[in-house]
Each structure stands twice: as structure tokens, then as C-alpha cells.
Amino acid sequence: MAYPAGTIRAFQYGLAIFALTALIGLVNATKIIGNLDQNTLLTHLHSGTLGWITMGVFGIALALFARNGSAGPAVSLSALATAAYVLAFWSGNFYARAIFGTVMLATIFGWWAWVGYRSSTEGFGKISNPKIAMLLGLTTLVIGSTVGVIIQIQLALNATTPQTGNLIGAHASAQVGGYLVLVATGIIEWYLIGERRTTGGIVQSVLLFFAGMSLALGQLFDIQPLLLVTNVLQIIATVMVVIRLGPAILRTSWAAATGARHAAIVPLYLVIGVALIVALVQQVIAANGDISRVPQGLIHSLDHTFFVGVMTNTLFGAILFATADRARTWPWADPLIFWGLNLGVLSFTAVLVTVGSSTGAAAFSHPVAYTAPIMGLAALLGIVTFSLRLMEAPAVMRSPVPA
Ligand code: HEM
Ligand code: HEM
């Protein structure tokens, strides 16, 4: 399948912004300049979740929905809005964050409305499993980002309340526990078994949508039974993912340098992620809803399981599929990227759970300094290699008859 030019551009912008995420991550892991301030940490966070992950998701939404020559939203403007918001986080200026956060929300809303419109013209009762997952994922993104802008405006007006902490928890839960899981499961299904519509696929997405919503509402209103409902919904949906994609995963060659192995490893992280969310919910309940008493290492482990294990594998897989018809620049890099990223994220997240967060540690004194860089260097190698391949011209179909 030929990918739209907009998809290729979205991947290029996403990779460029991901370089910033990975570089800040490397500095934070090694602590070569000491501990990072909150503005830089929020830049690391949102350059990763918006600049890398969401730009990539926009690109894939375009590839899924913009068939038959229909144009999608403007990719370059979306990238500009994203870069502006990431820089606003870095500046530490609350007014800039509120303004550019609102612009970012409008951009996200535009993509969601377009995907909703395309789904309605095709027929909500007919669209494939990956499209439903993308539509519900972007719906959750709109809800989670609206909460984000409300927090941002409260901060700008110096009008935070005791509820602001709950809003931040609800924002993070909707985005990570809802949006990311939905889009990732839809995208890997597309790559592993193709586009089809089945009852199992629809039920799985609906369960994941309600899981994200109940996690967010449980955090927002401190309703602990909702957190337990989330656990049940997520466990059922994750078992469905493993059963439904299992045969395709078993057929995947772990040695072949294609996007398939990046997609096939994602369910492993979904299983680890759900186990970590169950552990997190237990800790939150034990702490009587006070998230500040939950170990930071557990939260950061959960973050990277989803941001790198689930989403970066999904997007690297998508880029490999999109560039399959181009020259494979630096073929030696593929195994280093795949194994480095995965062994890196597994060892880093294991250290965060067992030893705890490296926050406050001295340079090179915490095991995070020796595990996270494996992941960060593999990510940087991926960024350079895939950027070079995206610049190559697609192979032209040769005429079977010589001219
Ligand atoms: C328009 C989009 C977005 C806006 C306006 C936004 C806004 C915010 C704000 C204001 C905060 C709190 C910052 C502070 O502590 O000062 C925050 C934290 C956070 N955001 Fe976002 N964000 C957006 C998108 C996302 C996305 C797409 C994700 C994940 C996929 C995400 C994940 C998080 C997480 C994990 C936190 C940290 C929560 C904590 O401190 O425990 N955000 N965001
Ligand atoms: C999409 C990509 C990524 C996202 C969204 C992300 C997000 C986050 C978040 C939310 C935190 C917690 C910050 C805090 O203390 O408030 C964090 C910490 C951290 N990140 Fe990332 N990250 C990403 C990729 C990476 C990469 C590629 C590296 C590479 C080295 C990395 C290394 C780290 C390290 C070392 C910490 C500190 C963990 C600890 O010791 O507690 N991250 N990241």
C-alpha cells in the first residue's frame, strides 16, 4: 500500500521531536548535569506524548482514513502547533502554556472531527476494527486534552483548587489508560491481521474505551470501586487482544527486519502494563487516594511501558511498513534498534519497579543510568535511520514491457 505524503511528513516531524525527548531522557538517566527541573521534565513528557506519539497517530489516521484521494487535516500546521506547545512547556510560562495548550486542543479536535466525519460517510456500522479503535482512541484524546487545558488555564489564572491534583490524575489516566491503549491495539491489529470488522474486535475496543473512562472518572472523583472496574475491563480486553492476535504473533519472525516484529511485541507490554495498573490501583487504594504516597518508580515504570514499549514499538513498526518500498539505508541498524529498544525498556522499567525512581540520585550512581541509555541510544539510532529512509524516494513500479 502506498502511504499518503502527509503520513510520511507526520512521521518525519514526529521523529524530529522525539530526538528532544530521547536526549532529555539520556541526560535525566545519567544525571550528568544533575537533576532536571519540572519544566524540562514536562517537556520530556509532552514532546514524547504529543510530538512523537500523537504526530505519529495523526499520520496513521491519515493512512487509514484518507483513501480514495480525500485530503486530511494539515500535517505541517499540526506539527507547528505541537512544537509550539512543547516549547511553551519548556519556557515555564503559564500564559504561553494556556494559549498553546488551547491551540493544541483545537488541532486534536480537528483531527477527531475529520476521523468522525470519514467514519460517518463510510458508516459507523461498517467501519473496520482498526478504524473503530482509532475513532474511540481520538475521542478519549479529546476528552483527556480538554481536561489538560482546564488544568493549564487554572495554573495561568492562579486559580488552582484542591481538585486540581485530581484533574491531573484524570488527565494522565484518560491519555495513557484510554487513548494510547486504544490506538495501539487498533494499529497493531491493522498490521498483523489486516482490516476487518468482527464482534470480538468491536467488543475489545468498547471495553478499552470504558476502561479509560472509568480510570479517569475514578481519579477525578476519588471513586475507588471505579478503579477496580477498570482493572476488570482491562484484564478482559487484554486477554482478548492476546487471543485474537495470538496466531499472527506466533507466525511472526523475530529475526526478520520488518515492522511485524515491532507490532507483535506490543501485546507483551500491554500485559505488563495492565499488571502495573493493577499494582498502581492497589497502591492508590492503600494510600487512601493520595497519589503522592505511591512510589514514583512504579508510575515512571508504567509510563515507559506504554510510551516506549507499546507506542514506540507501534510507531517504529508503522514507519518500517511505510518505508518497505524504499531503499533500506543502514540495514545493520534494524536489529540494534529492535533489540536495544526492547531490552532497554524492559531492564529500565524492571529497575524502576524493584529499585525505585532515580530522582535525586548522583551522576551514574543509580542502575537507571545503565539501563535507560540502552533504550535511549536505540531510540536515537531509530530516529536517524528512519529519517534517512523516509527521505528516500519510493520505488517506482517498473513497466513489465521495456519501453
Ligand atoms: C492538548 C493536549 C494536552 C494538554 C493541554 C496537556 C496538559 C497537561 C498539564 C497542564 C499537565 C500538568 C502539568 C503540571 O504538573 O504542571 C499535564 C500532565 C501530564 N500529561 Fe498532559 N497534556 C496534553 C496531552 C497529553 C497526552 C497526549 C498525554 C499522554 C498520552 C499526556 C500525559 C500527561 C501525563 C502522564 C502527565 C503527568 C501527570 C502527573 O504529574 O502525574 N498529556 N498535561
Ligand atoms: C515517548 C517517549 C517518552 C515519554 C512520553 C516519557 C515520559 C516520561 C515521564 C512522564 C517521566 C516522569 C518525569 C517526572 O519525574 O515527572 C519520565 C522520566 C524519565 N524518562 Fe522518559 N519518556 C519517554 C522516553 C524516554 C526515553 C527514550 C528515555 C531514554 C533514556 C527516557 C528516560 C527517562 C528517565 C531516565 C526518567 C527518570 C525515571 C526515574 O528514575 O524515575 N524516557 N519520562
171 Cβ below 6 A of ligand 1: yes
User: Regarding predicted confidence, which is higher, 240 or 224?
Assistant: 240
Residue pLDDT, tens place only, 296-322:
999 999 999 999 999 999 999 999 999
pLDDT computed for residue 398 by the predictor: 44
Question: Region 82-93: what's the mean pLDDT?
Answer: 98
> Which residue has a Cα nearest atom 40 of ligand 1?
168
Residue pLDDT, tens place only, 359-387:
999 999 999 999 999 999 999 999 999 99
385 Cβ below 6 A of ligand 2: no
375 Cβ below 6 A of ligand 2: yes
pLDDT computed for residue 71 by the predictor: 80
Question: Nearest ligand to the C-alpha of residue 84?
Answer: 1
Residue pLDDT, tens place only, 269-288:
999 999 999 999 999 889 98
Q: Read off the pLDDT band of 338 (50, 70, 90).
A: very high
Q: Read off the pLDDT band of 2 (50, 70, 90).
A: confident
SS (H, E, C) the chain: CCCCHHHHHHHHHHHHHHHHHHHHHHHHHHCECECCCHHHHHHHHHHHHHHHHHHHHHHHHHHHHCCCCCCCCCHHHHHHHHHHHHHHHHHCCHHHHHHHHHHHHHHHHHHHHHHHHHHHHHCCCCCCHHHHHHHHHHHHHHHHHHHHHHHHHHHHCCCCCCCHHHHHHHHHHHHHHHHHHHHHHHHHHHHHHCCCCCHHHHHHHHHHHHHHHHHHHHHHHCCHHHHHHHHHHHHHHHHHHHHHHHHHHHHCCCCCCCHHHHHHCHHHHHHHHHHHHHHHHHHHHHCCCCHHHCCHHHHHHHHHHHHHHHHHHHHHHHHHHHCCCCCCCCCCHHHHHHHHHHHHHHHHHHHHHHCCCCCCCCCCCCCHHHHHHHHHHHHHHHHHHHHHHHHCCCCCCCCCCCC
Question: Region 292-298: what's the mean pLDDT?
Answer: 94
Whether the per-residue pLDDT at 397 is higher than 60: the answer is no
pLDDT computed for residue 396 by the predictor: 63
Distance 148 CA to ligand 1 centre (A): 6
pLDDT computed for residue 288 by the predictor: 85
pLDDT computed for residue 236 by the predictor: 98
> Which residue has a Cα nearest atom 19 of ligand 1?
172
Q: Read off the pLDDT band of 403 (50, 70, 90).
A: very low
> Which residue has a Cα nearest atom 32 of ligand 2?
25
Question: Region 216-220: what's the mean pLDDT?
Answer: 94
25 Cβ below 6 A of ligand 2: yes
pLDDT computed for residue 68 by the predictor: 66
> Closest ligand 1 atom, CA of 152?
10
Distance 248 CA to ligand 1 centre (A): 34
Distance 374 CA to ligand 2 centre (A): 13
